[in-house]
Structures are given as C-alpha cells and as structure tokens.
A and B are shown apart, each in its own frame.
Chain A
Amino acid sequence: RKEVEQDPGPFNVPEGATVAFNCTYSNSASQSFFWYRQDCRKEPKLLMSVYSSGNEDGRFTAQLNRASQYISLLIRDSKLSDSATYLCVVPASGGSYIPTFGRGTSLIVHP
C-alpha cells in the first residue's frame, strides 16, 4: 500500500451537493493529519488539521478512522468556489516527521 492514497477523481458535483473524499494512510503511528486545497497554479492552502477523531469548520468536516487508517473530508452545500484539488497530508512518524502528500482529489462544482 502506498503511504498516502487518494482517489484522483475528478468528482463532478452540482452546486449545493454534499461530497466526501477519503484518504488512506499506511503508517498506523501517524498522529496528525491535514487537508489542504490547491487551486490551479497556486500554492496549497491549509483547510483543516485533524489531531483526534475529527474536526469541523463551517461546511467542512474531517473525520479520522484510526482502525481503518483513513481520514475523510466532507463538504456540504458545495459552492462553485470549492472547485480545487484537495490534498491529504500525513506526516511520517518518527525522526523528522516528513510530510507525505496524497496525489490529491480533484473537485469540480458546476452550476
């Protein structure tokens, strides 16, 4: 299994829809998890940090399932501006905690 895996998509959803992405990770000792969004030709921007079971911020909810080793990102009431690539990041445990990125999931929200 790759260290961090994401379905590349694209996920094509209408405005107002609810969409969820999963990210699986291989290192069971990982302690922190992050979701970033990256717009085309821009740098990644932090969307959410997850340290325990989950986190919620407005329309965005992240959940961590340690038993199955995945984190999910749920976006409710999708907006056109949510169209982006969503990156899952899991720092490797031990030593320097090098962040490992998933390949990203592309989301396209259409009118």
Chain B
Amino acid sequence: GAVVSQHPSRVICKSGTSVKIECRSLDFQATTMFWYRQFPKQSLMLMATSNEGSKATYEQGVEKDKFLINHASLTLSTLTVTSAHPEDSSFYICSARKGALDEQYFGPGTRLTVT
C-alpha cells in the first residue's frame, strides 16, 4: 500500500503555544488530505478536508482559526494547533487519497499532550 508519513509522532507542549504537524504522502500525489482527531476509546472524528491549492473545508464545530491547515503541495499538508490548551490533547491523524473514489492511507498519527 501507499505510504503516508506524519511528523512529529509525539509532542508535549505548554498551554498557549502552537504546534505544527506535517503530513506527507511519500509515494503518490494526494489530491485530498484529511485531518482527524481521536480521543481515547472514541471514534475517529474528521476535522477538515484539505485539497491542494485551496482552503480547507472544516467540519461543524471545528474552529478554523485554531486549527490552521495548509495544503502546500500534492504531497504535503500541515495542521497547526494554535494557542493549544489541555483539552486539545489528543491523537491527531492525517490521511491522504489519490482520487475521490480511492482508499485513504493514514499517517501513523501524532500524540499531542498540552500541559
């Protein structure tokens, strides 16, 4: 299967700071990338859909000014959690997809802890 990398895998930051997470599709060009969040023992929650060169589409209840998404190229998307708070602590996972009907491939996730 295709490979998607995500960096960093784990980050601990202080309340009020910003954290940037990178998601890269290593062996294919992704027309669409998705960002998810997952709290312990809960389902994946889609945060936003990102298409290269256009603004991300955020799901209801997700603050676009807090979770900044930049899809700079067909292989790179970044999520910046601005002014992080302890309640933002979660497992953030990205995925990438070639075409609309294709499968998604997930990055290994980033575990964010805000102290």
- Report A's interface with B, CB cutoff 8 A: 31-32, 34, 41-46, 49, 51, 87, 89, 91, 96-99, 101, 103-104
Contacts and interface: CB of A to CB of B under 8 A. Distances in A.
B104 A99 contact: yes
Contacts of A103: 43
B100 A46 contact: no
A43 B106 contact: yes
Interface of B: 1, 32, 34, 43-44, 46, 49, 51, 57, 91, 93, 97, 100-109
Contacts of B104: 34, 46, 89, 99
A31 B97 CA distance: 16
15 contacts: A32-B103, A34-B104, A41-B91, A42-B108, A42-B109, A43-B93, A43-B106, A44-B93, A44-B106, A46-B105, A96-B49, A96-B51, A96-B57, A96-B100, A99-B34
